Structure 1
Amino acid sequence: MLAVTCMEYIKEEVNNKGYSYADVARRTKADYRTVKKYADKEDFQTSTASKKKQPSPVMDPVKPTIDAWIQEDRKKKKKYRRTATRMWQLLKKDGFKGSERSVRHYVSRRKMELVEESEDAALPLENKPGTAQVDFGEGLFSREGKIVDLPYLILSFPGSGGCYTQVFESQNQDCFLEGLKRFFHHIDGVPNTIRFDNLSPAVKKILPRGERELTERFRTFALHYGFKYEFCNPVSGNEKGHVEAMVKYVRNNFFLPERTVYDLEALNDALWEEVEGDRERPHYKHGTSIAELHQKDLDSLYYLPSTPYDTMRYESLKADKYGFVTVDQKKYSTSPRFASQRVLVGISYNRIIIFQDDDVIVSHQRLYGGETESIDWVPYLSLMAKRPTALKYTTFFDQLPKPWRAYLEDCTLSEKKEALKFLATIMKDQQMDKAVQALKTASKQGHPSADAIQQVYHQQMHGRGYRETVDVPQQLPSMPEAHRGMKQYDAFFQVKGGSSHA
């Protein structure tokens, strides 16, 4: 039997809008005779008469087991589900005496009943375990002495009141998909159905008759994890009222007053436990704890796919004449050798990675907010070593610690080249603090050479400490003059008068 909403749609399209049976059948993918039957039907009263069920002494004891298998298999992809024949074989091992045909008949009928029950239970969405809603909220946070707005993504389960949240830098598609992926892998499963607002990371365009043109990445993400998606009608936030309420609840109970953020990932790690602890409170309606109700949601989740979805996207971008690529109006350095060339750029919610074939050239933290440019100077230092006079006019020079700026200003041209080569080496290991310490130590004897700084640096890095240079006296004692050849050897054996010892 068709779901009630489908019957209503058929009657509306045929009787009120005047579409033909064939047209409606084609759009609903229903049989022509079925469409005609429900369009013309007048009596929809439910019959109170029911067929008396006959007891089945052979099948009745195993029906709960079969039902459990069917419910468990519904979380899996079809190719991993037990067939009716396989169920019969498993039952036989436990002493079942019934026929394979009886099992096949029951499995077929029970699967159809569970599908109908599932469709009925989905109306309304909030009453079905394992269904969820998703939306972004915004909260105030304290960061580096400033109050900033940061978005947080919410996954809520209306049936139980359970929810999860993660804070991000933006509401862009990269953060949106990363958030969903985190939720799924944290709860070790995938909600059966998720209702969204018409978020731009998911919906490219709203089409007539409730259809949506989805973004390609969201479509492939949903296919990968296997959840059904639903979208609210435009300007109808009440259709996802639970997640709207949870957005306010999370803001009021977790982010007020303004929470100080030093490390966003550390904050998100803490939020898993904080939100879980909050579920111990009683549900406002059912009396029992939210955690107990939420367990039904978790038991109804689909299984995760064998491999996680790669939320990093890859684009081929052309670098400008300085070797910078642009992502969302932000500039990221590559290397001087890639100036005006195309490079492969990996873009995730928090990283921008420049590739050459399979090798990583540069990895940047993704920029948000007011910053517009990220520079990794390591690939540029070898070029600067060839053009040291340009050093003072780069932002790299301004970013150097004060001792190094002062040292480089006192260097000759050749000394500056060697110092830049040394900096290129240590900056690959992100050891600038050690380089500052080495410079200060080596400078105790005056203006040091790059080799002297490098020697102190390696002594510090390998745990040998700094070894003072031995002071050599300026006046050395006179030494006897050395002569090359065998003359002195011959003179040692020479006897006066020209004779020698035999």
Structure 2
Amino acid sequence: MSQRQAATTFNISRDTVAKMMTFSVPPGYRRTAEVRRPKLDPFIPIIEGWLEADRTMPRKQRHTAKRVFDRLREECGFTGGYTIIKDYIRERERRGQEVFVPLAHPPGHAQADFGEAMVRIGGVEQKAHFFVLDLPHSDACYVRAYPAAVAEAWVDGHVHAFAFFGAVPQSIVYDNDRCLVAKILPDGTRKRAALFSGFLSHYLIRDRYGRPGKGNDKGNVEGLVGYCRRNFMVPMPEFASWEEFNLWLEERCKRRQHDVLRGESETIGERLQRDLAAMRPLPAAPFDACDQATGRVSSQSLVRYKTNDYSVPVAYGHQDVWIRGYIHEVVIGCRGEVIARHPRCWDRDEIVFDPLHYLPLIEQKINALDQAAPLQDWDLPEEFATLRRLMEARMNRHGRREYVQVLRLLETFDLADLHAAVRQALQMGAIGFDAVKHLLLCRVERRPPRLDLDCYPYLPRATVEKTEARSYMRLLSVNAEGVA
């Protein structure tokens, strides 16, 4: 049968018969010419201008199809329908979507990132910045939380992660965080931050970076950050200290190694063994994860570090010092000696005092005792206030100086031992620096105290006369007169 006869017999067009002879399966409707939209085409440049301007606006403050339709009708006299606007914008967005290349993850390589979640540490609700190191081949992870995502936290997180796995990855993929990358050069290479550069040199790690603003370049760790937030931070974690929180996170990471993920036949821990075999051994000593800076002691014996002031002993006033900022501690030194240690303050424009640093100066300028700012929030046992009151009552100005000398014993001895010595001195009525010091030394050396009253002129004295016979005779004579 010819095509003409087939068309006549089946009552279809000859074009349809030709198409059926060409394709074994009907190809469906095929458009040969581009769609014409006579009502929309004149307004497409306007729509494109609006949508291009949206690139500089926040994502939630951009044009929707409904808003484009309303503006075209109100401002441009558009007479078409909403459907053609919606279809055009949907097609435009589909053309602009990025297509990704599937990535393979050989063992021995890692990705790192930071996430955020609300936690309650020591009864205070605050934001935690948690470091995540992911091994994409095995999906093993390490998580550690910090009060801030600073350069020291980045490095400290790596050091603890390497100790957790017992090995060092060959390479790590990062984003372009300013704590790691000081500048992106015109040729695409990165100028590393000083602390991060020293860390990489210590562990001999090859650093790789994703494109700016493209989290999919390290999609495994990005997904792991969300997993940790949903599974480790819900409900809100509550711990007494950061150290307790991080020990709990380490335990959760170990428990996760028993899981079998979708599409895998082995547990995370079993696949981790291939990662560890491809990683390098740890160096002889870990990297010192601290920020290093220099400063100068002010006239008030303070050193400025990261917007906050930390005290040092007054003997180092106006001298140059070096500063090491750790995550939980600030260490200050002069030449080769450490002169002060403080808990790190993450607020701004605060002053962190150690009262012991100022006691030698207060002993000389005793009139400043009541108004000395370093002593205002010093929480001492009540016996110390009682001791000061008795000393001032008995020795006036000199009693205040001796009280400061008692406080200076804390430069050498523990508060618990000094507190016990002060309490014992009050019970014995031995109100003086020498007596408190003697009782303190006896307590530390575990020997009984022997107080010689001749050495303590300020102790209360009792006058006892010698016994004489005529004293008793006087009593007898008075008794006789009374009888008479």
Q: Structure 1 length as normaliser, TM-score?
A: 0.65
Q: Deviations over 1:101-153 (max 9, x none)?
A: xxxxxxxxxxxxxxxxxxxxxx9655211111101111222123221111110
Q: Does the alignment pair 1:475 with 2:464?
A: yes
Which amino acid in 1 is paired with 2:261?
H
Q: Does the alignment pair 1:315 with 2:304?
A: no
Contact 1:125 1:131 in 2 (8 A): no
Aligned partner of 1:416 in structure 2 is 400
Q: State the distance in 2 between where 1:438 and 1:371 align.
A: 38
Q: 1:206 to 1:262 in 2, by over 3 A?
A: same
Aligned partner of 1:434 in structure 2 is 417
Taking the TM superposition and a 5 Å limit, the aligned residue runs for 1:343-382 are: 343-369=321-347, 372-382=350-360
Q: Name the SS of the counterpart of 2:217 in structure 1.
A: helix
TM-superposed CA distance for 1:464, in Å, is 4.8
Which amino acid in 2 is paired with 1:144?
G
Q: State the distance in 1 between where 2:205 and 2:240 align.
A: 35
Q: Does the alignment pair 1:404 with 2:384?
A: yes
Q: State the distance in 1 between where 2:349 and 2:430 align.
A: 37
Select the residue among 331, 341, 353 that pairs with 2:319: 341
Aligned partner of 1:115 in structure 2 is none
Aligned partner of 1:460 in structure 2 is 443
Select the residue among 288, 302, 305 that pairs with 1:324: 302
Contact 2:167 2:276 in 1 (8 A): yes
Contact 1:210 1:233 in 2 (8 A): no
Q: State the distance in 1 between where 2:264 and 2:225 align.
A: 21
Q: 1:368 to 1:327 in 2, by over 3 A?
A: same
Aligned partner of 1:449 in structure 2 is 432
Q: Structure 2 length as normaliser, TM-score?
A: 0.68
Q: Name the SS of the counterpart of 1:326 in structure 2.
A: strand
Q: 1:166 to 1:208 in 2, by over 3 A?
A: same
TM-superposed CA distance for 1:172, in Å, is 0.7
Q: Deviations over 1:337-374 (max 9, x none)?
A: 32232112222222222212222111112111368222
Aligned partner of 1:163 in structure 2 is 141
Aligned partner of 2:220 in structure 1 is 242
Aligned residues: 357
Select the residue among 265, 270, 280 that pairs with 1:302: 280
TM-superposed CA distance for 1:233, in Å, is 0.6
Aligned partner of 1:22 in structure 2 is none
Q: Name the SS of the counterpart of 1:285 in structure 2.
A: coil
Which amino acid in 2 is paired with 1:426?
L
Q: Name the SS of the counterpart of 1:208 in structure 2.
A: coil
Q: Deviations over 1:459-482 (max 9, x none)?
A: 333445778999997424359xxx
TM-superposed CA distance for 1:232, in Å, is 1.1
Q: Deviations over 1:153-203 (max 9, x none)?
A: 000011211100111121111111111122123322111111111111111
Q: State the distance in 2 between where 1:215 and 1:184 align.
A: 21
Q: State the distance in 2 between where 1:472 and 1:381 align.
A: 31
RMSD: 2.8
Which amino acid in 2 is paired with 1:407?
L
Q: State the distance in 2 between where 1:194 and 1:304 align.
A: 15
Taking the TM superposition and a 5 Å limit, the aligned residue runs for 1:156-235 are: 156-235=134-213
Q: Name the SS of the counterpart of 1:294 in structure 2.
A: helix
Q: 1:307 to 1:468 in 2, by over 3 A?
A: closer
Q: 1:320 to 1:175 in 2, by over 3 A?
A: same
Percent identical: 24
Which ranges of structure 2 fall in alignment gaps of 5 or more residues? 1-100, 454-459, 469-484
Q: Name the SS of the counterpart of 1:392 in structure 2.
A: coil
Contact 1:160 1:283 in 2 (8 A): no
Q: State the distance in 2 between where 1:252 and 1:461 align.
A: 52
Q: Name the SS of the counterpart of 1:458 in structure 2.
A: helix
TM-superposed CA distance for 1:235, in Å, is 1.1
Aligned partner of 2:23 in structure 1 is none
Q: State the distance in 2 between where 1:364 and 1:406 align.
A: 29
Q: State the distance in 2 between where 1:394 and 1:126 align.
A: 64
Aligned partner of 1:116 in structure 2 is none
TM-superposed CA distance for 1:247, in Å, is 1.1
Which amino acid in 1 is paired with 2:140?
G
Q: Name the SS of the counterpart of 2:421 in structure 1.
A: helix
Q: 1:327 to 1:126 in 2, by over 3 A?
A: farther
TM-superposed CA distance for 1:453, in Å, is 2.4
Which amino acid in 2 is paired with 1:187?
F
Which amino acid in 1 is paired with 2:437?
Q
